[in-house]
Structure 1
Amino acid sequence: MKNFIHDDFLLETDHAKELYHDYAKNQPIIDYHSHLSPKELAGNRVFENMTQLWIDGDHYKWRAMRALGIPEKYITGEAPDSEKFNKWAETVPYALRNPLYHWTHLELNRYFGIGDLLTPKTAGKIYEECNAKLGLEDYSARGLIHRMNVEVVCTTDNPLDSLDHHRDLAESGWPVKVLPTFRPDGLITIEGAAFIDYLSSLSKITNIKIIDFETLGQAIKKRVEYFHKNGCRLSDHGLPHAYAMDFTEAEINNILSERLQGGTISKKEVAQYKSAVLGLLGGLYTEKNWTMQLHLGPIRNTNEVILSKVGFNAGVDSIGDFQQAEQLAGLLNGLNNKGHLPKTVLYNSNPNDNELFATMAGNFNGDGIKGKVQFGAAWWFLDQMDGITNQLNALSNMGLLSCSVGMLTDSRSFLSFPRHEYYRRILCNLLGKDIKAGLLPNDMEWIGKIVRDITYNNAKDFFQFPSYVEKAPLENG
């Protein structure tokens, strides 16, 4: 029987097949947003078994297993790794039409050469076959990435991080460039229980006593400088929505002072503070020619029972229904008015807002930069076949698909890079069907160039990653 994952998987026309095989397939991968562990990459972790590599930490799989009624002990609990793998194998056949079904078999095929479907009957054989390979050099943390033709990986990093692991990787001679991303959620979440301790740690690292917004800005700037020297060229923000409230410097100083003294502040004051910090950061990003990423719209940690047992990233988040347009427009416009709008990628988690995000991005293009503000790739719950197609369609209809910087993994898994292949196949299939229908000309050379741009060239030109990473001072700050 023909393998489920075959050469022309998802490619429905001859045009789609030509576009994928001749123009997309062999493009290097620039994974500009991931949650891979720089520590595990620096140490070149060797995984003991497939459960540790493939199931631990993967909240996508956890959600599917819970939906099937698998007890939590086999998901995040104390069950043996082999039993957890068997429970995942039990779940997969029931995941038909969920992207996990495609991803699972793509990953088994691309990394391990396994064409069999994962079922309870095949689980033991597949587990043993994969585990036998995990001790080989090609299956260490770095080996798994290197074999996928990856050129750049951007991790997601706390501004307080020393970036020692990134420095070790930069000096190791490993050809894959691993660069940090500045993720300042801890600086922004003023209402959070950890905020005061976070600013205390920031003060210690930077040797700047934070007493008002000016000194906070000095400390943040010092960390931006440090990240830049270590190769960082992107920031990232995980927010329910953007913030663009009016405020005065005096108001922000009062808000910050009250919070640092352990006081409570109103919802309006929270929004004013967040607006001020986003404005400050936008200016710093612009100075450094960084790209700002805004991941907007999810509602997180909804199940307190699971949260208390597992902790954050437990797989109990969902699409939110926040109002996005007004505050997002206000933030981008406010930055733009001051000349502080950096290159920006907007990620939407609610499919109802696809056209909103696509048109919002188009409002702020210019400055001689191709696609300066991007409607980013389908994200989180939307990085499946319909979600990717809908994002491509919205971007095509409302902007220029040809300017897109393409796909990313947004993953904690070292086996997630076939998601780039998944995206490329869907992209080529969409364009191929349009050619067959007469909606696009049968100009494979030109459309092939566009495919190459979307899958690699645009990202390389847009992010302008350093050709080498400067040897930043060893001290953290």
Structure 2
Amino acid sequence: MPTSPLTLHPDRALPADPAVREIARRIYTQIADLPLISMHGHVEAQAFAENTPFADPAQLLIVPDHYVTRMLASQGISYDALGIPRTDGAPVEADSRAIWRTFCENWKLYRGTPSRYWIEHELVEVFDVHEVPSAESADRIYDQIDAVVSSPDFRPQQLLDRFGIEIISTTDPATSDLAHHARIAEQGLGERVVPTFRPDAVYQIGGPSWAQEVVALGEVSGIDTGDYTGFLEALRERRRAFVAAGARASDHGHLRADTTPMDAADASALYARVLAGHAPSAEEAFAFEAHMLFTTAEMSCEDGLVMQLHPGVLRDHHSGVLQSYGKDKGYDIPVPVDYARGVQPMLDRFGRDPRFRCILFTIDETVYSRELAPIAGTYPSVRLGAPWWFLDSPDGMRRFRELATETAGFYNTSGFVDDTRAFASIPARHDLSRRIDAGYLANLVAEHRLQEDEATEVAIDLSSTLPRAAYPPIAH
């Protein structure tokens, strides 16, 4: 393993060409310290409400981060050894120091990955670690991080200021009672930590727990969901509750991008049949989800929640991992998305409605230039979401700018979203995005396609102006 100190090069991720890099440095300097706007993420609301200390280095940086654990799992390291809880409650590795050692011993696996960039940034900037992770350094690094994590200044609420986070959204199911957000508001942070409405579980009529989710929706809304009419009204009630709690967006992660509406009578009949215990066919389930996405767009016009759509992920690809460890454990695989045909029914009806705003994300890069940039470049209701998940990498971000800008421009995009559960990595992720944007813009300047003052203005807009505009506050 390398023996040199762990340092962060000031020009990391900037262009290699010296002349272009110099321009990129100047642009980056203007945006490096701008506030972070984190409007699509998965840090739990409970963490902010209770403001409890983080447990330890492994529980903060490894166990909850599927980017980290999936790489180790790909090399045959068991989830048990990484302390991932089992659904049956069977014992797993409980020694966080042992989990940390496993990670450090396998540090070289992250070479060339964005995880390496984020973790190095965290180690140096957040935890003042200057040793390269290895079997030999693991315990010393653990102790250094543990000392920082144990500090009263290193708690979720305090990190909002330390990380320069202007606003952060959580992602909350439609059945959430929003009690944690109520507590956050009581502590004076209600406009800074906001919920996002995620109704996937009650839209996915073919899911094994759909009926229970619908019952829970009825209980939390106080509206009888025994029929389709009540179901829709319960959704509207919860959306109103989310808006009252500060929500600015809804979030939808379906397999397909289809938004074809069903006849209301057919949707009602299907709803009643499945609720009575009759399993829908796969196509019926997809049709109901598509219908609900169309219905969501209609509701968005009513209440102002921005509709975020990110299809194209075959989730929980390995049934054994799903059964043993639950959802979202790294076995999610991208699949192709037919965006142009999929969203056409929704945009044909709402795409030019000034009340509607939709942000389209993808991890299918083939649709950036062919479908998404042309859609965002013509429909006033649509913004193109930033590269996320498998694409929020240096090269993925560069490809995004190259593929989308010529058709959609910069100002039909939404700004960066970090999409993470790993709280300590948020500054690193935003920093990487800003460096890649500075480099892309510097190249335009070097090619005499933009003036440097224009490029700097665009960089500021991408970092701050556009995400604020993409997720505006809702009057309530």
Which one-letter code corresponds to 1:6 in the other structure? Answer: H
Equivalent residues in 2 for 1:225-264, closer than 5 Å: 225-264=240-279
1:346 aligns with 2:360: yes
What is the Cα-based RMSD across aligned positions, in Å? 2.0
Which one-letter code corresponds to 1:148 in the other structure? Answer: F
CA distance in 2, matches of 1:36, 1:305: 26
Which one-letter code corresponds to 1:41 in the other structure? Answer: F
Q: Compute the displacement of 1:434 (Å).
A: 2.7
Contact 1:300 1:317 in 2 (8 A): yes
Q: Compute the displacement of 1:272 (Å).
A: 3.0
Runs of at least 4 residues off by over 3 Å: 1-4, 334-337
1:312 aligns with 2:315: no
Q: Compute the displacement of 1:196 (Å).
A: 1.2
203-212 or 259-268: which moved more? 203-212
Equivalent residues in 2 for 1:20-419, closer than 5 Å: 20-21=28-29, 23-75=30-82, 76=84, 77-174=92-189, 177-336=192-351, 339=353, 342-355=356-369, 356-365=371-380, 372-417=381-426, 418-419=428-429
Structure 2 match to 1:7: 10
Q: Secondary structure at the match of 1:242?
A: coil
CA distance in 2, matches of 1:247, 1:128: 58
1:276-333 deviation digits (Å, cap 9, x = unpaired): 3222221221222221100111111111122222111111111113433311223322
1:148-188 deviation digits (Å, cap 9, x = unpaired): 10010011001111111112112213497000000000121
Q: Secondary structure at the match of 2:153?
A: helix
Q: Compute the displacement of 1:64 (Å).
A: 0.8
CA distance in 2, matches of 1:40, 1:233: 20
- Aligned pairs, number: 458
Q: Compute the displacement of 1:81 (Å).
A: 0.6
Q: Compute the displacement of 1:79 (Å).
A: 4.5
Q: Secondary structure at the match of 2:425?
A: coil
Q: Compute the displacement of 1:47 (Å).
A: 1.8
CA distance in 1, matches of 2:190, 2:345: 41
CA distance in 1, matches of 2:298, 2:345: 15
CA distance in 1, matches of 2:182, 2:12: 39
Pair 175,276 (structure 1): closer, same or farther in 2 beyond 3 Å: closer
How does the TM-score come out when normalised to structure 1? 0.91
Q: Secondary structure at the match of 1:6?
A: coil
1:19-73 deviation digits (Å, cap 9, x = unpaired): 001x210110110000001101111120231011111211111111112332333
| Unpaired segments ≥5 residues, structure 2 | 16-20, 85-91
90-99 or 188-197: which moved more? 90-99
Q: Secondary structure at the match of 1:349?
A: coil
Q: Compute the displacement of 1:200 (Å).
A: 1.4
Q: How many percent of aligned residue pairs carry the same amino acid?
A: 25
Which one-letter code corresponds to 2:10 in the other structure? Answer: D
Q: Compute the displacement of 1:140 (Å).
A: 1.4
Selected match of 2:457 from 438, 449, 459: 449
Pair 341,266 (structure 1): closer, same or farther in 2 beyond 3 Å: farther
Pair 332,175 (structure 1): closer, same or farther in 2 beyond 3 Å: closer
| Unpaired segments ≥5 residues, structure 1 | 366-371, 471-477
CA distance in 2, matches of 1:148, 1:71: 33
CA distance in 2, matches of 1:69, 1:160: 37
CA distance in 1, matches of 2:25, 2:177: 46
1:378-405 deviation digits (Å, cap 9, x = unpaired): 1111111111111122221221114433
How does the TM-score come out when normalised to structure 2? 0.91
CA distance in 1, matches of 2:250, 2:383: 14
CA distance in 1, matches of 2:288, 2:189: 41
Contact 2:51 2:155 in 1 (8 A): yes
CA distance in 2, matches of 1:186, 1:93: 38
Q: Secondary structure at the match of 2:98?
A: helix
Structure 2 match to 1:423: 433
Q: Secondary structure at the match of 1:151?
A: strand
1:259-283 deviation digits (Å, cap 9, x = unpaired): 1111122333323322332222212
